[in-house]
Amino acid sequence: MAPVSVLYVAPGLLFLALLVLVGAAEADGGGGGEEEEDHSHDVLHEVPGGEEMHHKPETGERWMDVTLAAHLLSFGSVSEVTMDFKASVQLSMEWWDPRLANLTTQPWVPVDPEVEIWAPHVDFKNTKALKMTTGEEETTTWVSRDGLVNRVQRFDLTAACAMNLQSFPLDRQLCKIKLDGYEDARLRWGFPSLWAQTSAPVITDATALHSQFKMTGLSVKAYANSFLPNIAGKGCVYYKNTCDYLDADRCLTDQQRCEDAVGSPDCDRCIYYSGSCRNSTNMCNLITETSNKNVFTSAEIQLHLSRRLAYHLLQMYIPSTSIVIMSWVSFWIDAGAVPARVCLGVTTVLTMTAQSSRAAGMAEVSYVRALDVWIVVCQLFVFSALIEYAVVNFVFRFGAVFSRRRPSTANGKESCGKSDDVAAVKILEPKSKPEGTTGKETAQTIDNCCRVAFPSTFVIFNAAYWSLYQLL
């Protein structure tokens, strides 16, 4: 009986096992389908039109408005030798493409990175090196239900900056990031739909402005341009935004605190710093529906920079001033102490010459810089102090030689023998101090005058120097 019962039970167990396996497979299949459906709902994997999406959309107008906004992520490495600077920028662009309207019911939907759609032709103009740091698999483009397209990309760039170093290191510079829009793209700074900031079209991470320059302001402008020279209306600015960065330096001191308290209002203000801004708009006759194909538009980010003076004060101005003051110590040393005064004078001249070599690594320019003027004048002061002692020593020695010359005549007659006449002896006696002391007194008088003249002249030079170059 046992074998017969086994034959009846085994098929039943096998049937139950098959039911469990089929149920698990249906559950997995249903869950996977639902997940895939949600994923396709969140990302736009394809667009209609095929190859037509690679061309500019037909809107019935000559110009296509492209709204720009930017976030300056970092700024630094300004080089006077190569006349350039390095920066990282996150650039946001928005335009309208009617072919992409009504592709989604959501307000905005990201576009798969593998989907290619038309984008305005916007180039960086004055860059020496440009690298897009946005990841290949990172979503950079979003499309709205109305057909608006928003693209955000990050760039690391090295841009040229023509600097005027006449006031170096008290100089102010204006460096620019230039963009040109082609294919009838009318660039204008504004606020794209996905741009969270509404205070300024260009914001800055003020905690990342590590440079020898202080950013005192930032301006953006959009203007008409042309491939042809001497065109009326070329350079006409139709939008300009200027922001003051007077208190941006306070964000540098709060950098460590912001790293420990991410998301606080003060830290967000520094990371998305905009300053105090004002706008202005204008009409440009060059940008019309009948403009020829030689006309295009350009946009600029202008960085107003002021060099930080602390480094140069510690490395050049204070040491050279100390050397000049040290050369004046010789005026208080006795004129007869030749080794002491000569050693001090030669030491200050050589030290000042070595100090001036610190400026050898700067850019070679064909004009005189403020630092060159300072170095030359300081060298002139220490060299003049050395020459002053040469004059003092000559006067001192000349007086000593003269004092050894005793008068050998009385009233023009030579005295050949001793005279016992007391009156004759009284006639030969000088009525004033010995003539030999005149040289020493004159030398001392020169030193006394230099004790006042050298410091006074140096103070006057400093007043003129700092006043002149601070105003330039």
**pLDDT one-digit tens code per residue, 114-136:** 888 899 999 999 999 999 998 77
Q: With left for phi above 0 and alpha for psi between -120 and 50, is residue 184 left, alpha or beta?
A: left
Q: How far is CA 194 from CA 170, 221, 240, in A?
A: 41, 21, 22
Residue with tokens 């830290």: 267
pLDDT tens per residue across span 275-300:
899 999 998 988 888 888 899 999 99
Q: What are phi and psi of 75, to 5 degrees?
A: -150, 135
How far apart CA 218 and CA 303 sit, in angstroms, is 5
Q: Which residue has the higher pLDDT, 196 or 447?
A: 447
CB 299 within 8 A of CB 68: yes
pLDDT tens per residue across span 381-392:
999 999 999 999
What average pLDDT does range 240-267 have in this prediction? 76
In this structure, of 94-103, 186-195, 347-356, 422-431, the range with the lowest mean pLDDT score is 422-431
How far apart CA 463 and CA 44 sit, in angstroms, is 67
Q: How far is CA 144 from CA 100, 110, 269, in A?
A: 8, 9, 29
Residue 117 per-residue DSSP state:
-
Q: How far is CA 113 from CA 45, 109, 116, 156, 290, in A?
A: 9, 12, 8, 20, 36
Nearest-Å Rg of the Cα atoms of the chain is 41
Q: Taking 50 as the threshold, does the pLDDT of residue 11 lie above it?
A: no
Give me 347's structure tokens.
């030491």
Give me 60's structure tokens.
């019935």
| Burial letters 131-152, b for 16+ CB under 10 A, else e | eeebeeeeebbbbbeebbbbbb
Question: What is the length of the chain?
Answer: 472
- Quote the crossing angle between the two packed helices 338-356 and 370-403, to the nearest 10°: 170
Nearest to 287 by CA among 239, 227, 236: 236
Nearest to 189 by CA among 122, 244, 273: 122
How far apart CA 402 and CA 361 sit, in angstroms, is 53
How far apart CA 151 and CA 143 sit, in angstroms, is 9
Give me 430's structure tokens.
């000088």
Nearest to 188 by CA among 275, 97, 94: 94
Overall pTM > 0.75: yes
pLDDT tens per residue across span 26-84:
444 444 443 444 444 478 888 887 767 788 888 888 899 999 999 999 998 899 889 99
Mean pLDDT of all residues belonging to the chain: 82
How far apart CA 84 and CA 79 sit, in angstroms, is 6
Provide the residue ranges of all domains of the chain, joining segments of one domain with +. 50-308, 312-405+423-471
CATH superfamily of 50-308: Neurotransmitter-gated ion-channel ligand-binding domain (2.70.170.10)
Q: Which residue has the higher pLDDT, 426 or 102?
A: 102
How far apart CA 117 and CA 278 sit, in angstroms, is 35
Residue 417 per-residue DSSP state:
S
What average pLDDT does range 329-337 have in this prediction? 92
Q: Taking 90 as the threshold, does the pLDDT of residue 254 lie above it?
A: no
Residue 430 per-residue DSSP state:
-
CB 220 within 8 A of CB 201: yes
Residue 315 per-residue DSSP state:
I
Q: Taking 60 as the threshold, does the pLDDT of residue 342 lie above it?
A: yes
CB 197 within 8 A of CB 337: no
pLDDT of residue 220: 96
Kind of pairing between the strands at 84-96 and 148-160: antiparallel
Kind of pairing between the strands at 202-204 and 64-79: parallel
pLDDT of residue 115: 87
Residue 273 per-residue DSSP state:
B
pLDDT tens per residue across span 297-311:
999 999 999 999 998
| Burial letters 49-67, b for 16+ CB under 10 A, else e | eeeebeeebeeeeebbebb
pLDDT of residue 134: 86
CB 392 within 8 A of CB 446: yes
Nearest to 242 by CA among 222, 217, 271: 217
Long-range CB contacts (within 8 A, 24+) of 433-436: 434/403, 435/402, 435/403, 436/399, 436/400, 436/402, 436/403, 436/404
CATH architecture of the domain covering 312-405+423-471? Up-down Bundle (1.20)
> Per DSSP, what are the bridge partners of residue 71?
90, 203
Q: Taking 80 as the threshold, does the pLDDT of residue 398 lie above it?
A: no
Give me 162's structure tokens.
């023509």
Residue with tokens 């497979």: 25
How far apart CA 81 and CA 467 sit, in angstroms, is 27
